[in-house]
Amino acid sequence: MRHCPVEDRLGIEDLAIAYCTAVDTIGDIDGVCALFADDAVYDLTTLGLGEVRGRKGIADFFAGAFPTMAHNAHALSNFAIVSYAGDTASARAYVNAISQGTDGSEMALRARYYFDVARGGAGWLITRLGMEFLIPPA
Protein backbone atom coordinates (compact mmCIF):
# COMPACT_ATOMS: atom_id res chain seq x y z
CA MET A 1 0.00 0.00 0.00
CA ARG A 2 1.17 3.50 -0.83
CA HIS A 3 2.24 5.45 2.25
CA CYS A 4 -0.30 7.99 3.46
CA PRO A 5 1.43 11.29 4.36
CA VAL A 6 0.77 12.53 7.89
CA GLU A 7 -1.20 15.59 6.72
CA ASP A 8 -3.58 13.41 4.73
CA ARG A 9 -3.93 10.85 7.49
CA LEU A 10 -4.86 13.58 9.96
CA GLY A 11 -7.11 15.27 7.40
CA ILE A 12 -9.06 12.07 6.84
CA GLU A 13 -9.29 11.43 10.59
CA ASP A 14 -10.57 15.01 10.99
CA LEU A 15 -13.27 14.26 8.41
CA ALA A 16 -14.39 11.12 10.27
CA ILE A 17 -14.51 13.08 13.54
CA ALA A 18 -16.37 15.95 11.82
CA TYR A 19 -19.01 13.44 10.71
CA CYS A 20 -19.57 12.39 14.34
CA THR A 21 -19.66 16.01 15.50
CA ALA A 22 -22.19 16.93 12.79
CA VAL A 23 -24.47 14.01 13.67
CA ASP A 24 -24.18 14.81 17.38
CA THR A 25 -24.99 18.48 16.84
CA ILE A 26 -28.49 17.37 15.75
CA GLY A 27 -30.32 19.56 13.28
CA ASP A 28 -27.53 20.97 11.16
CA ILE A 29 -28.35 19.21 7.89
CA ASP A 30 -26.04 21.46 5.86
CA GLY A 31 -23.20 20.67 8.24
CA VAL A 32 -23.61 16.94 7.67
CA CYS A 33 -24.01 17.27 3.90
CA ALA A 34 -20.92 19.45 3.54
CA LEU A 35 -18.83 16.41 4.54
CA PHE A 36 -20.13 14.21 1.71
CA ALA A 37 -19.33 14.28 -2.00
CA ASP A 38 -22.22 15.14 -4.34
CA ASP A 39 -22.65 11.50 -5.39
CA ALA A 40 -21.80 9.93 -2.04
CA VAL A 41 -23.35 6.68 -0.86
CA TYR A 42 -24.42 6.55 2.78
CA ASP A 43 -24.88 2.86 3.36
CA LEU A 44 -27.31 2.14 6.20
CA THR A 45 -27.90 -1.47 5.17
CA THR A 46 -26.65 -2.67 8.57
CA LEU A 47 -29.43 -0.65 10.22
CA GLY A 48 -31.98 -2.05 7.79
CA LEU A 49 -32.33 1.30 6.05
CA GLY A 50 -30.69 0.53 2.71
CA GLU A 51 -28.38 2.83 0.77
CA VAL A 52 -28.99 6.56 0.79
CA ARG A 53 -27.62 8.13 -2.40
CA GLY A 54 -26.27 11.58 -3.10
CA ARG A 55 -25.99 14.72 -1.01
CA LYS A 56 -29.67 15.44 -1.68
CA GLY A 57 -30.67 11.98 -0.47
CA ILE A 58 -28.55 12.40 2.65
CA ALA A 59 -30.17 15.80 3.31
CA ASP A 60 -33.61 14.20 3.00
CA PHE A 61 -32.57 11.35 5.31
CA PHE A 62 -31.41 13.72 8.05
CA ALA A 63 -34.43 15.98 7.55
CA GLY A 64 -36.41 12.93 8.66
CA ALA A 65 -33.97 11.56 11.25
CA PHE A 66 -32.86 14.66 13.19
CA PRO A 67 -36.37 15.44 14.55
CA THR A 68 -36.46 11.96 16.15
CA MET A 69 -33.12 12.48 17.96
CA ALA A 70 -32.85 14.07 21.39
CA HIS A 71 -29.15 13.47 22.22
CA ASN A 72 -26.30 11.72 20.43
CA ALA A 73 -22.72 10.93 21.39
CA HIS A 74 -20.61 9.19 18.75
CA ALA A 75 -17.15 8.53 20.18
CA LEU A 76 -14.69 7.66 17.41
CA SER A 77 -11.54 5.65 18.04
CA ASN A 78 -9.16 3.09 16.48
CA PHE A 79 -8.79 5.15 13.32
CA ALA A 80 -6.79 3.40 10.60
CA ILE A 81 -5.97 4.14 6.97
CA VAL A 82 -6.83 0.97 5.02
CA SER A 83 -5.67 2.11 1.58
CA TYR A 84 -4.34 5.31 0.06
CA ALA A 85 -3.98 6.36 -3.54
CA GLY A 86 -3.12 10.06 -3.31
CA ASP A 87 -6.53 11.57 -4.09
CA THR A 88 -8.67 8.75 -2.71
CA ALA A 89 -8.37 6.63 0.39
CA SER A 90 -10.24 4.15 2.56
CA ALA A 91 -10.23 4.32 6.33
CA ARG A 92 -11.76 2.44 9.23
CA ALA A 93 -12.69 3.55 12.72
CA TYR A 94 -14.58 2.27 15.72
CA VAL A 95 -17.61 4.06 17.08
CA ASN A 96 -18.99 3.76 20.60
CA ALA A 97 -22.29 5.62 20.41
CA ILE A 98 -25.31 6.39 22.50
CA SER A 99 -28.40 7.83 20.84
CA GLN A 100 -31.42 9.01 22.80
CA GLY A 101 -34.63 9.51 20.87
CA THR A 102 -37.27 12.16 21.43
CA ASP A 103 -39.54 9.21 22.28
CA GLY A 104 -37.38 8.34 25.29
CA SER A 105 -35.65 5.39 23.60
CA GLU A 106 -31.91 4.81 23.97
CA MET A 107 -29.64 2.89 21.62
CA ALA A 108 -26.04 1.93 22.43
CA LEU A 109 -23.83 1.02 19.51
CA ARG A 110 -20.37 -0.55 19.16
CA ALA A 111 -19.52 -0.67 15.50
CA ARG A 112 -16.92 -0.15 12.80
CA TYR A 113 -17.25 2.62 10.25
CA TYR A 114 -15.79 2.24 6.78
CA PHE A 115 -15.04 5.54 5.06
CA ASP A 116 -14.18 5.91 1.39
CA VAL A 117 -12.94 9.44 0.84
CA ALA A 118 -11.75 11.65 -1.99
CA ARG A 119 -9.79 14.87 -2.06
CA GLY A 120 -12.13 17.74 -2.91
CA GLY A 121 -11.43 21.39 -3.55
CA ALA A 122 -11.49 22.36 0.11
CA GLY A 123 -10.34 19.13 1.70
CA TRP A 124 -11.36 15.49 1.99
CA LEU A 125 -14.96 14.41 1.39
CA ILE A 126 -16.80 11.17 2.16
CA THR A 127 -17.69 9.26 -1.01
CA ARG A 128 -19.07 6.22 0.82
CA LEU A 129 -19.79 5.49 4.46
CA GLY A 130 -20.68 2.00 5.65
CA MET A 131 -20.90 0.34 9.03
CA GLU A 132 -20.77 -3.09 10.62
CA PHE A 133 -21.58 -4.02 14.20
CA LEU A 134 -18.81 -5.12 16.52
CA ILE A 135 -21.32 -6.02 19.24
CA PRO A 136 -24.76 -7.06 17.95
CA PRO A 137 -27.43 -4.55 18.99
CA ALA A 138 -29.38 -5.66 22.07
Residues that bind a copy of itself (CB under 8 A): 6-7, 9-10, 14, 17-18, 20-21, 24, 71-80, 92, 94, 96, 98, 100, 110, 134-136
Asked whether 55 and 36 are in contact (CB, 8 A), the reply is: yes
Helix (H/G/I), strand (E/B), else coil: 43:
strand
For a copy of itself, the closer CB: 32 or 41? 32
**Distance of closest approach, residue 120 Cβ to a copy of itself, in angstroms:** 17
**Distance of closest approach, residue 118 Cβ to a copy of itself, in angstroms:** 21
φ/ψ of 130, rounded to 5, equals -125, 175
For a copy of itself, the closer CB: 54 or 130? 130
Asked whether 34 and 136 are in contact (CB, 8 A), the reply is: no
**Distance of closest approach, residue 88 Cβ to a copy of itself, in angstroms:** 20
